[in-house]
Amino acid sequence: KERQPRKGLLSVILVIALVVTGCSITAYCVNEHWEDKAEHMTKSLDRRVEELQQQLDKISVAGGSPVVIPNDGSAMTPAQLYASSVNSVVAISTTVQANSYYGPTEASSAGSGFILSEDGYVITNHHVVDGATNLAIYFPDTDKEYRAEVVTVDETHDLAVVKVVDPSFNGFNNIKYGFKCEAEDVGTGVFVLGYPLVQSMGTEIKLTTGVVSSRSGFQGDQSQYQISAPVQPGNSGGPLYNDNGE
């Protein structure tokens, strides 16, 4: 009878030992599992990073962003369109004569334009250059600024062609876009590039997206679109693209 407590004590000790041993085995297995899983995830991530690096080594870089630009006429994403066309859009600054309370004075205004040819022709809106006494074409994020002159205007359709006449001008880069003569359908995706509100919104070119809302403009004007892409002062004269970069 006196030995029974010892048997009970031994049983308790044995149970505790088994529990501790079981927990140790379980902890070891769990640890091994997570170590294996972590190693697998690390190797998988390393492979993915290597694949991405190989892709980056093969793609075109334009506008500071690495983007693959299709050359088969297929639709482009906004990022691809931006990379393809960002260097073909310019800012335009003008000085015009104005009347104030104190008499005649000079005022400055700004707009956008896009390259028409590599030898310095740029198209913009007539109202951007109307009455300008000084005209300059520039890329706000660089130090390049060129003196320009108005070549011809079409007041009816609010268009103007200007040409760089600065002696330091050596030509524009290759044009990456084409021109479409047919009207787009309502609902077609469109993209706008330009330099709106440079003084307050910064000098980086802005991209906005939308769709063709109507194939006619103000009072049914068939030479204009209505679009849902946001535009602001300073966007005037900038290009409107479809998703083929036209």
**So which residues are the catalytic ones?**
127, 158, 236
Contacts for 113 with CB less than 8 Å, ≥ 6 apart: 89, 90, 91, 92, 122, 123, 124, 128, 137, 162, 237, 238
Q: Find tokens 């998703």 and name the residue.
A: 243
Answer whether 177's CB lies under 8 Å from 153's CB: no
Take residue 185 and report the two structure tokens written for it: 């359908």
Give the Cα separation of 218 and 216 in Å (integer).
7
Residue with tokens 């479409």: 180
CA dihedral 228, 113, 87, 232 (to 10 degrees): -40
**Positive or negative torsion for Cα 58, 62, 67, 70:** negative
Measured between alpha carbons, how far is 121 from 115 in angstroms, rounded to an integer? 6
- Residue 186 three-state SS: coil
Which alpha helices (DSSP H) does the chain contain, by range? 4-58, 78-85, 126-129, 198-201
